[in-house]
Structure 1
Amino acid sequence: MRAIVEYCTHNTAHGTEEIIDKLRQLPDCEVYEYGCLTSCGLCYLSPYALVNGESAWGETAEALYNQIMIKIQEIRLIED
């Protein structure tokens, strides 16, 4: 199963663009960019994304990246 990461373009103000670029490098990860994920409260307050439909957030972009990678690892474990 591939990890699907969805993020809001408005959230890049939190510095998420760099981590999204790193996620695009992963062979088992698909990244989709949207104008809105309808989670404006979370998106406005902190770096935020969806991983296979589940919310992931962090106080910094790097913290968000770590949370996304935890979720991706969980997906990888399910496959094994």
Structure 2
Amino acid sequence: MRPIIEYCTNNSGFGTDDIMNKLKENYDCEVYEYGCLTGCGMCYLSPYALFDGDTVEAETAEQLYDLIVKKIKEKEQNQAKE
């Protein structure tokens, strides 16, 4: 199953929209943009996204990208073992 990555448009000030576009172009994943992820203010604190429903956050958008890529690769490895 393809990873599902969700992000908040209010978080795009950190550059999350750019990294979500990179993820769409470079990985087999589903990326969804929402006006709000009901994180109650998280979008104003740091770059974050939901990866298969779990919150992933980092200090910069590029660090967030790297964390998501790592999670994608881990998921692919786990699926290959099954």
Moved beyond 2 Å, runs of 4+: none
Unaligned runs of 5+ residues in structure 1 are: none
The question of 1:20 aligning with 2:20 is answered yes
Q: TM-score, normalised by structure 2?
A: 0.90
Any idea what the Cα deviations from partners look like across 1:44-79, whole Å, max 9, x if unmatched?
100010010011111000010011111111110111
- Opposite residue 39 of structure 1, the aligned amino acid is G
Q: What number of residue pairs does the alignment pair up? A: 80
Which position in structure 2 is the counterpart of 1:73?
73
Q: Equivalent pairs: percent with the same residue?
A: 56
- Opposite residue 32 of structure 2, the aligned amino acid is Y
The whole-number CA distance in structure 2 between the counterparts of 1:77 and 1:5 is 18
Larger radius of gyration: 2
SS at match of 2:56: strand
The question of 1:51 aligning with 2:51 is answered yes
Shift of residue 15 of structure 1? 1.0
The whole-number CA distance in structure 1 between the counterparts of 2:37 and 2:9 is 9
